[in-house]
Structure 1
Amino acid sequence: MSGENKAHKKIRWSVFIPAFIVIGGGALLGIFRNEWLTASCSAIFTWSLKNFGWLYQLVAIFCLVMVAILTFSKLGNIRFGGKKAKAKYSFASWFAMTLTGGIATGCIVYGANEVMIYYGNIYGELDQLGITPLTAEAAQFGMGRVFYNWTFVPYAMYSIIGCAMAYIYFNKKEELSVAASLTPLFGQGVKKGFWRSLIDVVSIVALALGLSSNLGMGLAFVGTGLESAYGIKQGPVVWIVLFLIITASFILASVAGLDKGIKWLADGTSKIFYILLIFLFIAGPTVYILNMMNVGLGYWLDHFWTWGLDPYIVGGEALVTWWTMFDWACWIAYAPLMAIFFAMISYGRTIRQFMIINWIMPSVFGVLWFSVWSGTALNWQDLGSVDIVG
């Protein structure tokens, strides 16, 4: 049998065709019926967030509790691949791939942006809380909220699924798929026939929707930055060029392989992150940054359970639905892909090491990153150096 025929046999048409119809149909509607598609998707998404916000929050808390148990219990001693398995990547490279593969774009886009939106009550985030915008309490709230949205809770979602996939694949010798990771809950039946295809189709569609949403927002933000810094008017041409650059980088890294492409790109990108973080911490308002980090962490921990379980009743839709719930939806949409990637590079590591690299360290980095960038932005706003809120 020829190699071409073998390749064709690997195509799972029961997954490819439904996913292609949904994603391709959505793309065509976006081109020819954009306003209708936008209104329809917005209505469906709004309905899901309002009616299942309680479930999003419970899932997030469940993931957080589970990763804590896996990290600090005896289960953390289990090694992916068995007791004699040897790790392929150093801790530095492993963390670099985890960090840059997770929320790298989010860190850049929202590092100084999100806290200022809360601080200025731009979209009414503070209305239901009774906090006055542009006050010390608003700044403390903003710092606490970005820590909540970008650190330990969301990374727990990636980590729990990645850990399950790594264990199922390396230790139980199952296939590396979302369906296989669900066998402990639903049995071997989820890997067969209709249910396997359904799970894979849903995973692919969720990934495509999450990717298109975040890529679209990323292009808009980068375009805005280019216009603000260099006067380059953003529009379809700029967005297409940016899209081609991002896509080309992704394809080149993927074709080069994990070791020569993604690992090299992750190592370089992470070093840029570290340099920017250290430079701004030293050159910026260092004491103010440290103070706001402490206050923000305290504010978050003081409101941990209220924020963690509120479906929007306490915080309101502008804050909870369109920030936290929207973020959770994006993290969940990306989780299957990121979990597979995290699992692939974790061979030879223990569950505890996996959680340290994929949950604790990225979360700590998030605290430091948002402390530096958000703290600097708040300080500049208070001193009148710049008017970020507008």
Structure 2
Amino acid sequence: MAKASKGDVCPDVEHHDLPSTTKVGRVRPSLDDRNQDQMTQDNTSATRSGIRYGDPTVLGLTIGFIVLFVAFSLTDPEGMTAVIGAGFAWTAKTLGAYFQLLLLLTFLIAVGVAASPAGRARIGNRERPDMGTFKWVSIILCTLLAGGGVFFAAGEPVYHFVVTPPAFSSEAGTPAAVPNALAQSFMHWGFLAWAVLGTLAAIVLSHHHYDRGLPLQPRTLLAPLLGEARMRGVFGGVVDAVCVIAVVAGTVGPIGFLATQMSFGLHTLFGVAEGYGTQLVILLVLGGVYVTSAITGVDRGIQMLSRFNVMLALAIGATILLLGPTQFLFDSWFQGFGTYVGSFFDMATMTSQTAPDWWMKWWTVFFFAWFIGYAPLMAIFVARISRGRTIRQMVVAVAVMAPLATSVWFTLLGGSGIFYQMSGAIDLGEALNNFQFDVATLTVAQALPGGKLMALAVLVLTTIFVATTGDSMSYAISVVNAGHDEPQPALRAFWGVAMALMAAILLYMGAGQIGVLQQFIVITAIPVSLVLLPSLWLGPRAAQAMARRQGVVAS
């Protein structure tokens, strides 16, 4: 395949015949489409036969990272904590504004692409989607929202209620602080976070994979810029490995934190002994669930687990809305979302020059860097499950509808927490000042209608959220390693087991080492952000190339 020259980022625009189209630009597969499908299949087959279980560079670097991180944590935990802590602090202070700008531009450009005529182009030369809308949206929500959707949904709004965010001047703990607290939470889990996880990068990957036959790997994001030949070599393997390491760090953290949260919850609710033994059993069960799901693939296990997850979340949400502080929740969401929109740019562009360093480091920059670390593999996953959807549908689902659903979820759990905090039914001030979000989640859940039963349901939901992230990321990491979208079941199982085992070892050393690993993902956001950066201009060009090829826009 020809190397992309300077100024010719999408060379196939000039060389492909346009496929036949139906009304309103719906694509009917043409001979060229079938040839492109065959090209992708041929490349995939070649990759399978060449490297059955993974790229040696990717496997070597990622496994080496896991071994070294665990080894240094065992031999010198204080030294490891100090080094990563220093790197985390430097990255947050020096590059925080860069991370924020990357997310802001990604969202704005993605919305522009979706609104343009090119937004009608379909992904993967398919007229019909591979899966139904509810299943598709369920997988997107569960995979991208992850365990943080429950872990932080209850505690973060309450934290911002008792500690006023620097973007606002309301008195903490008063009714005036309610919309501001929710708005700040919406910023961290809203349009910007979701956009970087599956819009522009997913468009670039979709075009170069489905239309040009390149693999679904992070290196493909740089192929139009640096050339396909270079990306097929060791340098491409290093790019993939860095992105995989970021996801491993970001996924092992929630897996480990879930074990501590479940252990604490079972002890509080049922008197089960709290300790490493209980945490290990939880990890074994969790690992068994998500490894089995990952082995069965996107169309079976991952899809079924995500659908059950969404149904349980809807049931919990409906119970809270109907039996909880209904009017307060409605009012809080409208006021909070209005404040979010009205203060959007103020919050999005706030830096350590106008806000305390510690606050920016542990809140906005931490979350945004975390999402950047996940972004390439999440984009791969979104591109894989969105075949047959239009670019507009994908962007709207990921960057608009999912954040709206997230804001409602944060209002139901976090808004209820604020209500009970205001009424004096609970007091989370001390726990949240110590960042004990597991305590906050369980305390709020017990205060909800149903008490112990609701708390148990929330724990189960958290577990399934983490499981859906574990299975999806085990699958995505295996796709990156194998270079095609049907990796060997043994490879999927290996990565699922490896992440659970890493969490178990770090928990044995103390939950603090899980926190150190979470800080490490902020450092990995530096190279990963450079992989994503070209998508700001390659994404619109790829969308335009897809639209021209499909006859959606004039060539």
TM score, norm. by length of structure 1: 0.91
Correspondence 1:61 to 2:104: yes
Q: SS state of the match for residue 387, structure 2?
A: coil
Pairing of 1:1-390 with structure 2 (within 5 A): 6=49, 11-82=54-125, 84-121=126-163, 126=165, 131-160=170-199, 161-390=201-430
Deviations 1:248-271 (A, max 9, x none): 111110122222211111111110
For the pair shown, the structure with the greater C-alpha radius of gyration is: 2
| Alpha-carbon distance change, 301 to 358 in structure 1, aligned in 2, over 3 angstroms | closer
Q: Tell me which amino acid in the other structure corresponds to 1:132.
A: E
Conserved 8 A contact 2:165-2:184: no
Q: In the aligned structure 2, how far is the partner of 1:89 from the partner of 1:226?
A: 37
Q: In the aligned structure 1, how far is the partner of 2:172 from the partner of 2:271?
A: 31
Q: In the aligned structure 2, how far is the partner of 1:376 from the partner of 1:248?
A: 33
Stretch of structure 1 that moved more, 350-359 or 11-20: 11-20
Stretch of structure 1 that moved more, 358-367 or 224-233: 224-233
Stretch of structure 1 that moved more, 7-16 or 58-67: 7-16
Q: SS state of the match for residue 176, structure 2?
A: helix
Shift of 1:9: 5.9
Q: In the aligned structure 2, how far is the partner of 1:6 from the partner of 1:372?
A: 50
Q: SS state of the match for residue 136, structure 1?
A: coil
Q: In the aligned structure 2, how far is the partner of 1:131 from the partner of 1:232?
A: 42
Q: In the aligned structure 1, how far is the partner of 2:320 from the partner of 2:180?
A: 22
Conserved 8 A contact 2:167-2:346: no
Conserved 8 A contact 1:80-1:347: yes
Shift of 1:182: 2.4
| Alpha-carbon distance change, 274 to 129 in structure 1, aligned in 2, over 3 angstroms | closer
Deviations 1:278-299 (A, max 9, x none): 1211111111111111111122
Identity across matched positions, percent: 23
5+ residue gaps, structure 2, are: 1-47, 431-555
Shift of 1:333: 1.5
Deviations 1:9-52 (A, max 9, x none): 65422222222222211022223322221222111111111110
- Root-mean-square deviation (CA, aligned residues, Å) is 2.1
Q: In the aligned structure 1, how far is the partner of 2:401 from the partner of 2:230?
A: 33
Conserved 8 A contact 2:179-2:337: no
Shift of 1:308: 0.8
5+ residue gaps, structure 1, are: none
Q: In the aligned structure 2, how far is the partner of 1:190 from the partner of 1:377?
A: 52
Shift of 1:312: 2.1
Q: Tell me which amino acid in the other structure corresponds to 1:333.
A: G
Q: In the aligned structure 2, how far is the partner of 1:108 from the partner of 1:270?
A: 12
Q: Tell me which amino acid in the other structure corresponds to 1:332.
A: I
| Alpha-carbon distance change, 66 to 185 in structure 1, aligned in 2, over 3 angstroms | farther
Q: In the aligned structure 2, how far is the partner of 1:380 from the partner of 1:10?
A: 52
Aligned residues between the structures: 382
Shift of 1:139: 2.2
Shift of 1:376: 1.3
TM score, norm. by length of structure 2: 0.65
Q: In the aligned structure 2, how far is the partner of 1:328 from the partner of 1:213?
A: 16
Q: Tell me which amino acid in the other structure corresponds to 1:137.
A: A
Stretch of structure 1 that moved more, 367-376 or 214-223: 214-223
Deviations 1:216-253 (A, max 9, x none): 33333333333333333432222222222221111110
Q: SS state of the match for residue 427, structure 2?
A: coil
| Alpha-carbon distance change, 159 to 307 in structure 1, aligned in 2, over 3 angstroms | same
Stretch of structure 1 that moved more, 217-226 or 56-65: 217-226
Stretch of structure 1 that moved more, 89-98 or 137-146: 137-146
Q: Tell me which amino acid in the other structure corresponds to 1:17.
A: G
Deviations 1:286-333 (A, max 9, x none): 111111111111222232212111222223223322011111121111
| Alpha-carbon distance change, 333 to 218 in structure 1, aligned in 2, over 3 angstroms | farther
| Alpha-carbon distance change, 230 to 172 in structure 1, aligned in 2, over 3 angstroms | same
Deviations 1:148-170 (A, max 9, x none): 11121100011222232222212
> Which residue of structure 1 lines up, in the alignment, with residue 504 of structure 2?
none
Shift of 1:345: 0.9
Q: SS state of the match for residue 297, structure 2?
A: helix
Shift of 1:7: 7.1
